[in-house]
């Protein structure tokens, strides 16, 4: 039977931003509820070695780090619910959300920490072969390509990380990039170029993912275009891993809250406040520049502190967000 959950602070998203917001909010006595969403733990659950999160001399595993954050959030008093929010209403207080389970959530304040989702190429065969050789997560699916040839598409940190990870499993990795230089950090580029199993294909785009003709579909090759020469050719591979960035998971909130041209939630400079009083945003859902676990965690802290201060100035029976406009959170 569907339930209605009421809380002073509702947090949507269970990545570093959401968990950190929950930790700070719980320690402040706000008794927050966190709805975990489709990917509890966020993108770090599909990351193996995490070398740049402060506090660990050696690399730690992404899933382990997120398990620790979850345990800490629960230990200090956060109630975590495994549900996926499908509708939100931000036009009146309390803010309301509906879960896929049918449960309803009502809150005096809201932290949006829904993160970002993998961006796809949009080429023929990509959707049809998803799960049959096409993936956006090397750590999820790389195991299936042990001893096989694969390609990674992209030129940033994510693409280089995917390529290096896959090089430990595959017989050969080809990094395909549409430009003549990478955007990844220099130290990562050095590791990439030194790896004997990795080669880079510059000034090249992928035009289609080609399937075999067997009864059960599987990727057999990529149709490529040489941007400089203009020629087309095929690259036989068993796997294609797309690593060209992510899009913020803000579809639920569009039309109700200010976003930029790419859908990232706009927050006030130096704060987590959004265009809707009482609604705060943290993590990759509002960060289009840094997109790191540590910055997501930091913004989660900011969101909780901003929410705590805001709630201290708002009576519980305030009728709607319009009543809060004059409040300096």
Give dist(CA 197, CA 173) in Å, integer: 6
Active-site hit among 49, 67, 103, 137:
137
> Known catalytic residue: 301?
no
Strand partners, 280: 111, 273
Judge residue 231's burial from the number of C-beta atoms within 10 Å of its C-beta, 0-12 exposed, 13-18 middle, 19 or more buried: exposed
Chain centre distance of CA 314:
32
d(CA 106, CA 37): 16
Two tokens, residue 69: 């954050």
Which of 83, 141, 284, 306 is the catalytic position? Answer: 141
- Pinpoint the alpha helices (H) of the chain: 16-27, 62-75, 138-141, 157-167, 186-194, 293-312
DSSP-derived 3-state class of residue 53 = coil
Pairing of strands 232-236, 219-226: antiparallel
Do residues 207 and 224 make contact, with C-beta atoms less than 8 angstroms apart? Answer: yes
Rounded CA separation 64/190 (Å): 28
| 141 carries an active-site annotation | yes
Would you state the structure tokens that stand for residue 178, as one six-digit string?
A: 């549409």
Angle formed by the axes of helices 293-312 and 16-27, nearest 10° = 40
Known catalytic residue at 140? yes
Residues belonging to the active site: 137, 140-141
């Amino acid at each position: 039977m569907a339930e209605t959950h009421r809380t002073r602070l509702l947090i949507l998203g269970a990545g570093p931003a959401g968990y950190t917001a929950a930790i700070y909010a719980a320690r402040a006595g706000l008794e927050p509820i966190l709805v975990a969403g489709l990917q509890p733990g966020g993108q770090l659950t599909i990351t193996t070695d995490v070398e740049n999160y402060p506090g660990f001399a050696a690399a730690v595993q992404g899933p382990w780090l997120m398990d620790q954050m979850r345990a800490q959030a629960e230990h200090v008093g956060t109630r975590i619910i495994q549900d996926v929010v499908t509708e939100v209403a931000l036009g009146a207080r309390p803010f309301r959300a509906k879960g896929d389970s049918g449960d309803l959530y009502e809150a005096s304040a809201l932290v949006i920490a829904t993160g970002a989702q993998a961006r796809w190429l949009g080429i023929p065969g990509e959707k049809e072969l998803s799960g049959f050789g096409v993936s956006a997560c090397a750590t999820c699916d790389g195991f299936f390509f042990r001893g096989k040839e694969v390609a990674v598409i992209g030129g940033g940190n994510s693409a280089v990380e995917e390529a290096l990870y896959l090089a430990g499993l595959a017989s050969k990795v080809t990094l395909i990039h549409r430009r003549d230089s990478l955007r990844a950090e220099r130290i990562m580029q050095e590791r990439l170029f030194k790896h004997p199993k990795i080669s880079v294909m510059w000034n090249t785009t992928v035009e289609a993912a080609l399937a075999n003709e067997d009864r059960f579909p599987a990727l057999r090759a990529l149709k490529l275009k040489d941007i400089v020469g203009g020629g087309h050719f095929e690259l036989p591979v068993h796997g294609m891993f797309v690593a060209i960035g992510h899009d913020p998971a803000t579809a639920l909130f569009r039309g109700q809250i200010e976003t930029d041209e790419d859908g990232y939630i706009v927050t006030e400079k130096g704060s987590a406040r959004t265009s809707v009083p009482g609604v705060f945003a943290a993590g990759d859902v509002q960060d289009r520049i840094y997109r790191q676990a540590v910055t997501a965690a930091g913004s989660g802290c900011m969101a909780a502190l901003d929410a705590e201060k805001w709630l201290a100035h708002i009576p519980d029976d305030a009728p709607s967000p319009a009543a809060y406009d004059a409040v300096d959170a």
